[in-house]
Amino acid sequence: MQCIYPGSFDPITLGHLDIIQRASQAFDCVYVTILLNHKKTYLFSVEERLAMIKKACAHIPNVQACYYDGLLTHFARSKKAQTILRGLRSASDFEFELQMANLNKQLAPEIETYFMATSPDLSYISSTAVRELAMFHADISKYVPISIVEDIQRKF
């Protein structure tokens, strides 16, 4: 069984990696997929984010980094994925994610959305916080995979 783990990953954090590692044990293939939200402004280009995902997940053989600019359900169907995986850090995440899951279910009834809670010790980490810390040259090594710390620091 294959799953899609979509997000902006601007940049990928240890919270994301926690979800990816656990998903890789439950699914045959995990497509870590950058989806564009045209309302957002990104710090890292798609190419930079793909490279960071590949570095961070290099030790996980059944993970593939992808990019898609379109509807998530269209991408899931193109990969023959039966599952969309969404990570949850807090109750406020759930409210938004449930709305998206219901919409996706209407668009593609054959695709299920699974929710996975981020490990409690990582639930406070967000890409936004990492970007802000990096902008002020703070140590981000506790929040992102070590393999991408320099990539992030170079941006500032």
Q: Residue 1 CB: number of other CB atoms within 10 A?
A: 10
**Closest of 139, 151, 143 to residue 17, by C-alpha:** 143
Phi-psi group of 109: left, alpha or beta (phi > 0 → left; psi -120 to 50 → alpha; rest → beta): alpha
Positions annotated as catalytic residues are 16, 40, 89, 127
Task: Count how many Cα atoms sit within 13 Å of the Cα of residue 145 in the half-sphere of its side chain.
Answer: 21
Is-cis flag, bond preceding 11, omega within 30?
yes
